Amino acid sequence: MRFVLYCRPGFEKDCVAEAHDQFASLGWDGYPEIHGEHGIVSYNGTPFDPENPRSSEIPYAANFIFTRHILEQATVVKELPAADRATKLAEALLKSTKFRNFRELVLEFPDTNEGRALANFCKKFHPAMGNALKRSGFTLDRGNHNAPAVHVCFLDYENAVMGLSWKKRSSPWRSGIPRLKFPEEAPSRSTLKLDEAFLTLLTEEERNERLQGGGTAVDLGASPGGWTYQLLERSFFVTAVDNGKMAESLMATGMLDHKSEDAFKFKPKTPVDLLVCDMVEKPQRVIELVARWFKEQQCTWAVINLKLPMKKRFAEVEACQLAFWELSGLTEDKFEIRCKQLYHDRDEVTLVLIPKPKKAKR
Ligand SMILES: C[S@@+](CC[C@H](N)C(=O)[O-])C[C@H]1O[C@@H](n2cnc3c(N)ncnc32)[C@H](O)[C@@H]1O
């Protein structure tokens, strides 16, 4: 089966490296195809190991670091005729899937400047595509949440990828992108990273349990205060550690203590609930520091951002996760690392380090 994976444009190689790893762990063999620098990658997979109890599983977008969204039973359609793109696309879909009912038709475009220029075209093309699907024998079954959505993602006017997504496995956001509103009072755009991490890497139960009643937090590398802003909004008492200044508006809340110190030397007087860290530093150094906080039981959970200026980013993130397990003394039966390149992350990924939920699943 062919899958189409959406990632941040420019991160196609990391997406492929991770896809090999993820599919292999489910007993799938496969080869990738990168469709230019659009953030769109195909993975042609075959389950090769029937003995693997997980071989019938299909991966969830939420479990990937560099993949935002996954299309299943996908196909690539090239040389679309300008006079009638829709019929060729519908015919291609007839061949790539046996499903004939769909709950929604989604027209998409790459998350690039050239891609966004296709937005208007997609809007206008929607009725023609819907009609072509009907003519080819597909039925729109709008209320049926078990039916797949049909996605057509135009790479340009002549080439597209298309496939299906199911609600239970795919991202809840269009093209896997949560669009968050920038709060005007926040001192930096980085604020959206922490907001998105809370939204996408925590369960609803965890948000209720860990974010609603306030608590204590330390923000390492906090200046000018975009992350601290999110914590104060959720009623945390925050200690911000950074030689840089914190925004006056945040200091005025009375809920913030600013320490002009080196984060690698700072030690809290008493343990805190939450540690957050967004320092521009080598990922391995950050992981060592954060693992020490857990080893010394100075925090219960953490949200950290790792900067990835190097080429082999997937390998680096894997190495950091391994180092965390080794250095923190924590184990996977009780604790979890959730890692994602968020939409608001650039050359970086965000990790939530948290005790395993007792029952709820994401
Ligand atoms: C990307 S900025 C943080 C932005 C912040 N999270 C926000 O939302 O406004 C990185 C910060 O890390 C701080 N930093 C880097 N190394 C540090 C260290 N060793 N100790 C304390 N702060 C450090 C820098 O001064 C800089 O303010």
- If you ran DSSP here, which 8-state letter would residue 63 be given? G
Give yes or no for residue 92 having a pLDDT over 70: yes
Catalytic option among 265, 307, 312, 361: 307
- In 3-state terms, what secondary structure has residue 4? strand
CATH architecture, domain defined by 191-355:
3-Layer(aba) Sandwich (3.40)
Span 130-155, pLDDT tens digits: 999 999 999 999 989 999 999 999 99
Average pLDDT over residues 177-203: 96
Average pLDDT over residues 180-190: 96
Q: Could you tell me the distance, in angstroms and rounded to a whole number, from the CA of residue 272 to the centre of ligand 1? A: 19
Span 213-242, pLDDT tens digits: 889 999 999 999 999 999 999 999 999 999
pLDDT at 55: 67
Roughly what angle, to the nearest 10 degrees, separates helices 226-233 and 191-201? 50
CA separation for the pair 152, 157 (Å, rounded): 12
pLDDT at 309: 85
Q: Are 284 and 308 in contact (CB under 8 A)?
A: no
CA-nearest of 190, 170, 212 to 277 is: 190
Query: Ligand 1 within 6 A of 238 CB?
Result: no
Query: Ligand 1 within 6 A of 304 CB?
Result: no
CA separation for the pair 290, 222 (Å, rounded): 15
Q: Are 153 and 4 in contact (CB under 8 A)?
A: yes
Q: Enumerate helices (H) and strands (E) in the chain, giving the number of each.
A: 10, 16
Query: Ligand 1 within 6 A of 243 CB?
Result: yes
Q: Could you tell me the distance, in angstroms and rounded to a whole number, from the CA of residue 224 to the centre of ligand 1? A: 8
Average pLDDT over residues 285-296: 98
> Token pair for residue 120?
């208007």
Average pLDDT over residues 247-276: 97
- The residue with greater pLDDT, 193 or 359, is 193
CA-nearest of 9, 8, 59, 7 to 30 is: 59
CA separation for the pair 241, 260 (Å, rounded): 6
Q: How confident is the model at residue 21 (pLDDT cuts 50, 70, 90)?
A: very high
Q: Establish whether 340 is a catalytic residue.
A: no
Domain boundaries, the chain: 2-176, 191-355
> Token pair for residue 99?
């499903």
Give yes or no for residue 360 having a pLDDT over 60: no
Percent residues over pLDDT 90 in the chain: 87
- Helix then strand then coil, in percent of the chain rounded to 5, is 30, 25, 45
CA separation for the pair 124, 127 (Å, rounded): 7
Give yes or no for residue 311 having a pLDDT over 90: no
Domain 2-176 is in which class? alpha beta
Cα dihedral 228, 231, 237, 240, rounded to 10, equals -20
Query: Ligand 1 within 6 A of 280 CB?
Result: yes
Instruction: Kindly report the average pLDDT of the chain as a whole number.
Output: 94
Query: Ligand 1 within 6 A of 227 CB?
Result: yes
Span 28-87, pLDDT tens digits: 888 999 998 999 999 998 877 767 777 677 889 999 999 999 999 999 999 999 999 999
Q: Could you tell me the distance, in angstroms and rounded to a whole number, from the CA of residue 322 to the centre of ligand 1? A: 24
